[in-house]
Amino acid sequence: MIEGPSDVDARAAQDAWAMRLALDQALNAQLAGEVPVGAVLVRQVDGVPQVVATGYNRPVTTSDPTAHAEIVALRHAAQMLENYRLPDCVLYVTLEPCAMCAMAMMHARLERVVFGAADPKTGAAGSVLNLFAQPQLNHQTAIEGGLMADACGRLLREFFQRRRAEQKEARLSVPTPSPASSALPDEGTPTTTGPRGTPEGGIPAGEATEGGEWPLPTI
């Protein structure tokens, strides 16, 4: 089917509207202290675009490594529609999907995926690899990238700039230990260690959350 000018204009308007909603979701992630990535699932109902589900990044706050914005939105949509297949839905996300999210989208049989900023470190829609263009897979989902890329990328850049500044400030605020306090313990003083030789008690609170940080996209 060849789309006429009105069809193209209507789709472009829907895409811009939905990506703005995805950016709102990314701001929710930022407020929660998560990397600001947001997603929205939309489908046509009687010719009118309808939001089925939304999601934002939350792997740190939920202690769930799979809780990327896209996965959260897909789960909500599948539960709402009572079907794990979503063939009439379009997913909008502010950052290029990773391999995990890309495969979940294809399992859901999405009609189309639209993303904002590219991710040169983990992007699986063309930046590192393109899972959406593998003829060996039994389903191909249409993929489009670069929609409102400047706004999506700016949100990520500003987030990581603030995070680096906060980390630098925290390091500078740590008092330098005095020579007496930094001296080694007497040979007769027993020291206990935790797993893998770390001091008993493990990694200090807050130092195990760096794995939740997404690579900063190159815009």
Q: Which residues are catalytic?
A: 70
- 212, with CB counted inside 10 A (0-12, 13-18, 19+), is middle
Question: What distance in Å separates the CA atoms of residue 115 and residue 22, rounded to the nearest whole number?
Answer: 10
The first and second tokens of residue 188, run together, are 């007769």
Q: Using alpha carbons only, what angle is made at residue 114 by residues 112 and 120, rounded to the nearest 5 degrees?
A: 125
Order of strands across the sheet that contains 38-45: 48-56, 38-45, 89-95, 112-117, 142-145
Single-letter code of the amino acid located at 16: A
Question: What distance in Å separates the CA atoms of residue 93 and residue 19, rounded to the nearest whole number?
Answer: 7
